[in-house]
Chains A and B, each alone.
Chain A
Amino acid sequence: DVKVTQSSRYLVKRTGEKVFLECVQDMDHENMFWYRQDPGLGLRLIYFSYDVKMKEKGDIPEGYSVSREKKERFSLILESASTNQTSMYLCASSARRGQAAYTFGSGTRLTVV
């Protein structure tokens, strides 16, 4: 069964820590995405990548960076975690632009204290 795997379901980090959220997909998809989801705000796109070593900013990239060294892995990095980054983080992948469904991971609920 094809899937997107996020390394942690729950994560608690301290303010100022550098945080890595890992996402791996086994479908050979070109496109990968990081969203955060907050009550009342829906899904907001942080970063996305449509090829290895390529990245593009989404709607809310501030405070985040990403890395895509291999096609199957897309990492989200919080350079210095802050309490306002407490959220549900969702990774997704898709085969190609247009007419392609996204496959999502199960999400990482990050709490920054």
Chain B
Amino acid sequence: SQQGEEDPQALSIQEGENATMNCSYKTSINNLQWYRQNSGRGLVHLILIRSNEREKHSGRLRVTLDTSKKSSSLLITASRAADTASYFCATDPLTGSARQLTFGSGTQLTVLP
């Protein structure tokens, strides 16, 4: 079942603007991860944030995690046309025997040149 749900489903911005995508989840987690998928390709890991972390940066990416609200956000600053892709959050559950991530449905980001 899908735990992480991204919002919005689609986002269109101009090059140079910032893009913010949100993810909500339902159960307690070990960590939350963000992935990117270019059209027709596999997913590429972007960043992982652990449950005891609140914010993490990687280049133009900034991820926040609020475990009390069970939500995360991905901010891409100074966006470029090459950032056009789908972005997925994925949660690693804290409990249970599951050894797999659960992915959301994704946000389709379009950056217009």
Tell me the number of A-to-B contacts counted with CB atoms below 8 Å: 61
Using a CB-CB cutoff of 8 Å, which residues 58-81 of chain A contact chain B?
58-59
Known A-B contacts: A43-B88, A101-B48. Give 11 more (CB < 8 A).
A42-B88, A50-B99, A98-B31, A98-B92, A101-B45, A102-B43, A103-B45, A104-B43, A106-B41, A107-B41, A107-B42
Prevailing SS type, chain B contact patch: strand
In Å, the complex CA distance between A91 and B86 comes to: 18
Task: Count B-side interface residues using an 8 Å CB cutoff.
Answer: 25
| A interface with B by C-beta (< 8 Å) | 4, 31, 33, 35, 40-45, 48, 50, 56, 58-59, 88, 90, 92, 97-99, 101-107, 109
| B interface with A by C-beta (< 8 Å) | 1-2, 30-31, 33, 35, 40-45, 48, 50, 88, 90, 92, 99-106
Prevailing SS type, chain A contact patch: strand
Is B92 a contact of A59 with CB atoms below 8 Å? Answer: no
